[in-house]
Amino acid sequence: MGLLGFELKSIAPEARIDRCSTPVKHDILQEFIEFRKIEGLCDRWIVTIRQYLTDYMDYVNWRIDKKKTLQYLNKIRDKQTTTSFRKITYQKRKFLTYLNIEWAKDIKPPSEPIYLPKRVTLENIKNTQSYFKDNPYHLQIKSLILLGISSGIRAEELYQLTTEDIDINNSVLHINHNPKNGQSTKTKMSRISFFNKQTQQAIFEYYTYFNSDKNLKSLFSQSHITRLFRDAPIQVKDLRKFFSQEWDRRGGPTSIKKILMGHSMKGDVDLMHYNAQSEEDLKRIYDKIMN
């Protein structure tokens, strides 16, 4: 069985098995990558997967070898966080399974580490805003911070926002899953969220600056923002944590929070089968809690 749940008839079984003892050509890796694209993965993640696999294939000299594969995984294990090592191991196993390598099934990523959420308070947010007060990009950073804490969207989703995604007059965010446009969501589904009046004003101010600065090609470039936040009191991913915690502190319904934050609905019977809300319903509830 292949990646998409059906037999990969484009490759004869004997040819695939033979790759265990013969070099793997670069076009086979490209073929695998093309199948991954069909899954709807965003361009950024496709590039990362390609890099994972290229590093591995370079190490084994583009020849599938069980001993060298184990050496490679043990070599990188201590250099990665458990979460990163899980991702790398999983991608290696998928590629080897695609090549019909029998021992690929024995490669098992380590268990996910126990995770205790970081508590993010309003004081943390204020300290971060103060940290950037003299930064030449303070209007951009202020807009990013307020968008993050008032909408609850993921850091990656913030980086992907365009001006077309932000309905500033109605305080609506469109979080799009559109891999062809470099936009993706974890659930592979588009959704909406909202932001408050303070954020609306900050975005107006930032837009004026954004339209006058020729060096800014996107609203929140990931490399640019990551560099700015390197030594900040909190990181961009913590803004989503603040939204989640603040929503609960204000007594907001958990089901609505899950919808706005783009949580997976799998396993939640109420959200999967009963709790349907219109955009107007969600906005009314949001304003009651966050405005």
At 63-73, the pLDDT tens digits run 999 999 999 99
Judged by phi (left if over 0) then psi (alpha if -120 to 50, else beta), residue 220 lies in beta
The tokens describing 188, both together, are 């592979």
Across the range 97-104, mean pLDDT stands at 94
pLDDT value at 8 more than 60: no
| Residues 70 and 178 grouped into a single domain | no
**Phi, psi values for residue 183, rounded to 5°:** -120, 135
Q: Does 209 lie in the same domain as 276?
A: yes
Q: Is the torsion defined by CA of 57, 60, 61, 65 positive or negative?
A: negative
Tens of pLDDT, residues 36-59: 988 878 788 899 999 999 999 999
Query: Within a domain: residue 8?
Result: no
> In terms of residues, how long is the chain?
291
Number of structural domains (the chain) is: 2
Per DSSP, the three-state class of 17 is helix
Residues 210 and 261 in one domain: yes
CATH number for 46: 1.10.150
Verify that 169 and 86 share a domain, yes or no. no
Instruction: Please state which of the ranges 13-17, 89-93, 160-164, 233-237 shows the lowest mean pLDDT.
Output: 13-17
Q: Identify whether residues 128 and 55 lie together within a single domain.
A: no
| Same domain as 128, residue 88 | no
Q: Are residues 49 and 139 in the same domain?
A: no
Banded model confidence at residue 22, pLDDT cuts 50, 70, 90? low
Higher-pLDDT residue of 121 and 184 is 121
Q: What pLDDT score does 127 carry?
A: 97
In a domain, 1, yes or no: no
Residues 99 and 64 sit within 8 Å (Cβ to Cβ): yes
- Residue 50 domain boundaries: 13-106
What's the first-to-final CA gap in the chain, in angstroms? 51
Q: Domain check: are 160 and 91 in the same one?
A: no
Q: Is residue 185 part of a domain?
A: yes
Q: Is residue 28 part of a domain?
A: yes
Q: What is the mean pLDDT of residues 210-219?
A: 90
Average pLDDT of the chain, as a whole number: 90
Q: Determine which of 135-144, 151-160, 207-216, 240-249 has the lowest per-residue pLDDT on average.
A: 207-216
- List, in order, residues 6 or more apart from 190 with CB less than 8 Å away: 174, 175, 176, 177, 178
- Asked whether the predicted pLDDT for residue 5 surpasses 70, the reply is no
| Best CA proximity match to 173, nearest among 138, 149, 142, 137 | 149
Q: State whether 92 and 146 are in the same domain.
A: no
Query: 98, 91, 92: which is closest to 28 by C-alpha?
Result: 98
Report pLDDT digits (tens) over 229-276. 999 999 999 999 999 999 999 999 999 999 999 998 888 898 888 999
Is 174 part of a structural domain of the chain? yes
Rounded to the nearest 10 degrees, the angle between the axes of helix 66-77 and helix 82-98 is 160
CATH number of the domain to which 149 belongs:
1.10.443
